[in-house]
């Protein structure tokens, strides 16, 4: 009976704790956005966003990340149904989309650095690389976590603790997509409007 | 034991879970808002300031869509701790962003060279 009592305690508390962590991470990104907004005109004679950004590749990145957020939701639906194969399938798709996003971003960064427009070029580029790079770092952490969870689901199946961890991972992944909306709008679209 | 456990797991809190309909709706709305904003900017369909305001409004709309349809905020049972923490976050973010911009733009206004030169010219006795 005492076992039942332990099992009965639902997951709302750990999930609330994780939600609070996500909210504090939003504050971290807000400070980076504020820094960017203050510095984006300080190009020090270097290129500005209008000269630098490639809108087509940015749209591709955005749609890939958005789709991965959607497939992550589908994976969670499968997990709650207890459908192990579908859960694995959708998380693998989410993972591959995440890797695609990261590859596109790394290609963009490498291109900028090769043209001499690295974070050392100007205040604008320092703020740009810090903001977008921090998001990319979060994506990398999310992808590593997803890989670990895939092994856990394959080896242990969909127990209560595993589902709780998957729920946290999916919250983290949706949160990263939400941060990207603002990077897409404030950094890329704002930068692509002719001065 | 395991069957018993499964039965209890079956009816734990489902108020913060999604449904297929919520994910599909959120996805379609998000794609629509993303592509609209992108096309507006690519074709430069408006003057600079209205265009900027419009794309920020589209971003906020997409933010609400994803918070609601992907993160299911507002669908939890009372007491709605997530919603309360969310509003706390929004307040801190607004203070941080608006405050920083306010400080830095007025700093620029006061510290730019012409203003300083004017000030020094007016105070020649110093």
Tell which residue, A167, A62, A166, has the closest CA to residue B33.
A62
**Which one of A1, A13, A24, A34 makes the best mutation probe of the B interface by having the most chain B beta carbons within 10 Å?**
A34
Which DSSP symbol is given to A54?
-
Specify whether B101 is located in the same domain as B63: no
Tally the domains of chain B.
2
Rg (CA), chain B: 25
Residues of the domain holding B65: 1-77
Would you say the ipTM is above 0.95?
no
Residue B48 predicted with pLDDT over 80: yes
Specify whether B15 is located in the same domain as B68: yes
Question: Residues A73-107: pLDDT tens digits?
Answer: 999 999 999 999 999 999 999 999 999 999 999 99
Q: So what's the pLDDT on residue A111?
A: 95
Give the torsion sign (CA, B54, B59, B62, B64).
Answer: negative
Query: Among the three residues B77, B94, B109, which one is the final residue of a domain in this structure?
Result: B77
Place of tokens 């984006």: A40
> How big is the CA angle at B59 (ends B64 and A37), to the nearest 5 degrees?
125
Q: What is A53-192's CATH number?
A: 1.20.120.80
> Does B53 reach chain A within 8 Å, measured CB to CB?
no
Specify whether B20 is located in the same domain as B56: yes
CB interface of B with A, residues 89-118, below 8 Å: 89, 92-93, 96-97, 100-101, 104
């Amino acid at each position: 009976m005492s076992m039942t009592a332990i099992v009965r305690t639902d997951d709302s508390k750990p999930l609330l704790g994780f939600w609070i962590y996500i909210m504090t991470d939003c504050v971290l990104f807000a400070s980076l956005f504020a820094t960017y907004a203050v510095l984006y005109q300080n190009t020090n004679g270097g290129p500005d966003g209008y000269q630098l950004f490639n809108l087509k590749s940015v749209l591709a990145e955005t749609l890939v990340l958005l789709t991965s957020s959607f497939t992550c939701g589908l994976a969670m639906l499968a997990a709650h149904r207890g459908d192990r194969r579908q859960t694995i399938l959708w998380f693998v798709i989410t993972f591959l989309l995440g890797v695609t996003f990261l590859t596109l971003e790394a290609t963009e960064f490498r291109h900028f650095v090769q043209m001499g427009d690295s974070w050392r070029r100007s205040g604008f580029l320092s703020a740009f690389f810090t903001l977008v790079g921090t998001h990319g770092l979060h994506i990398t952490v999310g992808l590593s976590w997803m890989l670990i969870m895939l092994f856990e689901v394959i080896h242990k199946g969909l127990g209560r603790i595993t589902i709780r961890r998957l729920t946290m991972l999916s919250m983290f992944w949706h949160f990263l997509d939400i941060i990207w909306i603002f990077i897409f709008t404030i950094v890329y679209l704002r930068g692509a409007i002719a001065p | 034991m395991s069957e018993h456990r499964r039965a209890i797991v079956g009816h734990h809190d489902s108020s913060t879970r999604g449904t297929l309909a919520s994910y599909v709706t959120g996805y379609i709305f998000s794609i629509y808002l993303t592509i609209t904003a992108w096309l507006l900017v690519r074709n430069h369909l408006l003057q600079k300031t209205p265009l900027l305001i419009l794309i920020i409004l589209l971003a906020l709309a997409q933010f609400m869509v994803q918070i609601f349809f992907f993160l299911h905020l507002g669908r939890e049972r009372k007491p709605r701790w997530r919603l309360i923490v969310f509003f706390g976050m929004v307040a801190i973010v607004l203070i941080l962003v608006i405050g920083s911009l306010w400080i830095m733009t007025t700093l620029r206004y006061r510290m730019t060279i012409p203003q300083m030169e004017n000030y020094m010219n007016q105070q020649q006795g110093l």
